[in-house]
Amino acid sequence: MRILEFERVSYQYASEDFDIVDQLSFSVESGAFHCVIGISGCGKSTIFRMTNGLLQPKCGTIRVGGIPITQQKNYCGYMPQRDLLFPWRTIGENLALPLEIRGGFSGKEKTELVEEALADVGLAGCRDKMPQELSGGMRQRAAFARTMLTGSDLLLLDEPFSALDFLTRISMQEWLLEQWRRHKKTILFITHDVEEAVFLSSSVLVVEKTPIRSLREIPVPMGKTRTRQDLANPEIVALREGLVDMLRKQVGG
Ligand SMILES: Nc1ncnc2c1ncn2[C@@H]1O[C@H](COP(=O)(O)OP(=O)(O)OP(=O)(O)O)[C@@H](O)[C@H]1O
Ligand SMILES: [Mg+2]
């Protein structure tokens, strides 16, 4: 089943004289994990912001679960690249926000879910801190936990692990794969780290050109249960280098 569909979607920033996304069509199968890669400024976050409804396409239709997004609310969880947390709310209050939006949780349930989500990302004990008291990587993990609490089947994660140190990053990657398998989510995940893209994806979506007219889908031949050792497999190494070459070509124009 297709969970997300773009049908001839275009977008133009008011200050630009061209469509950065130009008649783009693609679809995502339910349960897929796609990393989206492409050079800086190519329009990856723009695609996420349209999917989330923050930007309105100039033309075309975006559907989630077969229904145009203009006719629904709360259909996806979105972790933006910047401006992650509300500075006037504690970490706990930030995480409780999606639960407040969903409604139907008692105060006790909210507290329990928030504490569980914080513990999951290694932030147990940070509930009463303010965002500005945390490091960049800790804030990123808190924002990530908040996105998971939306409970949405479709998650859009814009460079969620970019501020993390190497070891935290790889353990968060393993944790996310486990969540994906266990909760059967559909995940779109923007990253600049090609190895991360290969490790996480069922297939990688490559933005080869701006304006974006298509996404090139590169399947990753690894099962859902995978380990970092699989990255050393010659077939996977070749795939990774092929992706690096595609990005290099884009930089070269
Ligand atoms: N609000 C805006 N007004 C005008 N142009 C914008 C705006 N936001 C983004 N752009 C431009 O649109 C292009 C794509 O931006 P976008 O944020 O989608 O890129 P990206 O692929 O996510 O890049 P990065 O990897 O650096 O995050 C960039 O050239 C950017 O300058
Ligand atoms: Mg971006």
Q: Does ligand 1 come within 6 angstroms of the Cβ of 81?
A: yes
Q: Hey, how many other C-beta atoms are within 10 angstroms of the C-beta on 156?
A: 25
Q: Tokens 């940070």 belong to which residue?
A: 126
Pair 134, 159 in one domain: no
DSSP string, the chain: -EEEEEEEEEE--TT-SS-SEEEEEEEEETT-EEEEE--TTSSHHHHHHHHHTSS--SEEEEEETTEEGGG-SS--EEE-SS--S-TTS-HHHHHHHHHHHH----HHHHHHHHHHHHHHTT-TT-TTS-GGGS-HHHHHHHHHHHHHTT--SEEEEESTTTTS-HHHHHHHHHHHHHHHHHHT-EEEEE-S-HHHHHHH-SEEEE--SSSB---EEEE----SS--GGGGGSHHHHHHHHHHHHHHHHHHH-
Which ligand sits nearest to residue 43's alpha carbon? 1
Is the CB of residue 85 below 6 angstroms from any atom belonging to ligand 1? no
For 69-73, the CB contacts below 8 A with 24+ separation are: none
Tens of pLDDT, residues 56-80: 999 999 999 999 999 999 999 999 8
The stretches in the chain having pLDDT less than 70 are 252-253
Domain end position, chosen among 104, 126, 151: 151
Identify the CATH number of the domain in which residue 173 sits: 3.40.50.300
Indicate whether 8 and 39 sit together in one domain: yes
For residue 191, the CA-to-ligand 2 centroid distance in Å is: 9
pTM: predicted TM-score of the whole model, two decimal places: 0.94
Dist. CA 67 → ligand 1 center (Å): 27
Residues less than 5 Å from ion ligand 2, measured at CB: 45, 81
Query: What pLDDT score does 133 carry?
Result: 95
* Residues 139, 229 within the same domain: no
42 lines ligand 1 (CB under 6 A): yes
From 45, 79, 208, 251, the mutation candidate for ligand 1 (largest count of ligand atoms within 8 A of CB) is 45
pLDDT digits (tens, 9 = 90+) for 130-150: 999 999 889 999 999 999 999
**How many whole angstroms separate alpha carbon 118 and alpha carbon 40?**
31
Domain count, the chain: 2
My answer on whether 238 and 184 are in the same domain is: yes
164 shares a domain with 200: yes
Q: Is residue 90 in contact with ligand 1, taking CB distance under 6 Å? A: no
* 30 and 57 housed in the same domain: yes
How far apart CA 105 and CA 10 sit, in angstroms, is: 39
Ligand 1 pocket residue status of 210, Cβ below 6 Å: no
Do 170 and 58 belong to one domain? yes
* Binding site membership of 46 for ligand 1 (Cβ less than 6 Å): yes
Which domain-ending residue is among 151, 176, 191?
151
95 and 191 fall within a common domain = no
Pair (64, 163) in one structural domain: yes
Report which residue type is found at 161. Answer: F
Same domain, 163 and 242: yes
* Domain range enclosing 121: 84-151
On whether both 211 and 186 belong to a single domain, the answer is yes
Q: Check whether residue 168 and residue 243 sit in a common domain.
A: yes
Last residue of a domain, one of 151, 167, 183: 151
